[in-house]
Every structure is written in C-alpha cells, then in structure tokens.
Amino acid sequence: MIIKKLPLGPIEANTYVLFDEKSKEALIIEASGDANAIKQELDALGANLKYILLTHGHFDHVFGVNDVKKLYPDAKVFIHKEDEVLTENIALQCAHFGIDGVEKPEIDEYIDENTKLSIGDIEIKVIHTPGHSKGSVCYLLGDDLFSGDTLFFEEIGRCDLFGGSFSEIEKSIRNKIFTLDKNIAVHPGHGQDSTIGHEIKYNAYFGENSRY
C-alpha cells in the first residue's frame, strides 16, 4: 500500500491518499482542501477512488469534501453518526474561527465499529475514539493507524470544542489506541507521524513520561 500525505486547507489538516497497487483502488482519509492537489496524486497513481473517509466533522477536515465529490461522484463519503451535528452546522463552525463558510459536506453513509470496508484485499478497521468530538474515529489498515485529531505526535486533540471531553479522549487513547501493537505507525490529522510505542512512552498527557 502506498500512502501520500497532503497538508491542505486553511489549517493545513493532513489529507491522506492510500493506494492499493494490486487492485488500483484508492481512498482518501479527510478531504481538507484543494481537490485538484488530491486529483493530481490519484492521477499519478492511476487510481480509482473508492472512499472518502472522515475521522470527524470539524470544518478543517471536511473543507474539500464536496469539491472532491464533484470530481469523483462514485466515491462514497463516510463519517460517524455522532458527528452529524458538526457537519450539519459547518457554517457555524467556520464563523467561530473567522473562516468563510463552506457548504455542508455531502455524506453518503454513517459508520461505526461494525462497518466493513476494504480496498483490494486490505481491510479497514473503524475504531470509535470519542473525546475530540463525539464521533471521532481512527482507521486502522494493517500496521497504519490514521488517528485524526485524537492522537498527535506526543500530544492529543483539544477537548474544549463542541462535543469534546477530556475523560472520553483519555479512555479512547488508553483503552483503544495504546492497546494496539507498539510498532503500528500513527498518521495524525495535523503534524508529523509517530508510532504507538513512541506515544505510550512520550505522550505529554498519557505517556509513561507525561508532563501533565
């Protein structure tokens, strides 16, 4: 599997392009902006875009959903039902941060931990990780975890926005993420990559050497 990271949109949220060389199927995780930049990556790979997977409904992660959907109308957009309230109120979110409003993203289906998804022979595991938002999820594909704004390099996502909860994010990280194999790579919604093992040891909030 090929993974490309594109920091896009008004707050440079990471959009990930994942490509299965055997089947030529691809997905993107987040659609944070600049649909043409995403298309360039997909075209260079000769990829067929199957899914647009969203880790949560904050505006900076869904900024480019509708533009990507126009280019790839057959690609299905997925998000957790608990974040429907965020996507329904996208203009309010943008106004809160002084950003010009975007259209409500078009969602095709709501997902949960029982949802079965795959590209080629690669299974996609949905892990519900509330805390940054009610409907935050991580996506696990083999040895790669796409953590959205739940877990960053040595940090965690903020919990002071609508639907946020520090106690919930702690449970999500300790009970669902830190129980994964230590060698799994962590690809966050902003910033640089990490590993489960690194975060277990060095995460500022919940690591063995936590500062808080």
- Domain with residue 73: its CATH number is 3.60.15.10
| Cross-strand bridge partners of residue 195 | 185
Is position 211 within any domain? no
- The confidence band for 172, taking pLDDT boundaries of 50, 70 and 90, is very high
* 49 within 8 A of 72, measured Cβ to Cβ: yes
d(CA 139, CA 141): 7
- Examine residue 116 and state whether it is found in any structural domain, yes or no: yes
Q: What is the mean pLDDT of the chain?
A: 95
**Cβ(69)–Cβ(106) under 8 Å?**
yes
**Between β-strands 155-156 and 185-188, what pairing exists: parallel, antiparallel or unpaired?**
unpaired
Q: Is residue 67 part of a domain?
A: yes
| Domain presence at residue 208 | no
Q: Which two tokens stand for residue 167?
A: 């106690």
pLDDT of residue 91: 81
Those residues whose C-beta lies under 8 Å from the C-beta of residue 60, and which sit 6 or more positions away, are 9, 10, 11, 13, 32
Does this model's pTM top 0.85? My answer is yes
Residue 148 lies in a domain: yes
Asked whether residue 140 carries a pLDDT value surpassing 90, the answer given is: yes
Helix, strand, coil percentages for the chain (3-state, nearest 5): 25, 30, 45
Domain count, the chain: 1
The one-character DSSP state at 61 is H
Query: For residue range 35-79, what is the model confidence (pLDDT) as tens digits?
Result: 999 999 999 999 999 999 999 999 899 999 999 999 999 999 999
pLDDT digits (tens, 9 = 90+) for 78-136: 999 999 999 998 888 888 788 876 788 999 999 999 999 999 999 999 999 999 999 99
Task: Give residue 102's domain range.
Answer: 2-202
pLDDT digits (tens, 9 = 90+) for 191-200: 999 999 999 9
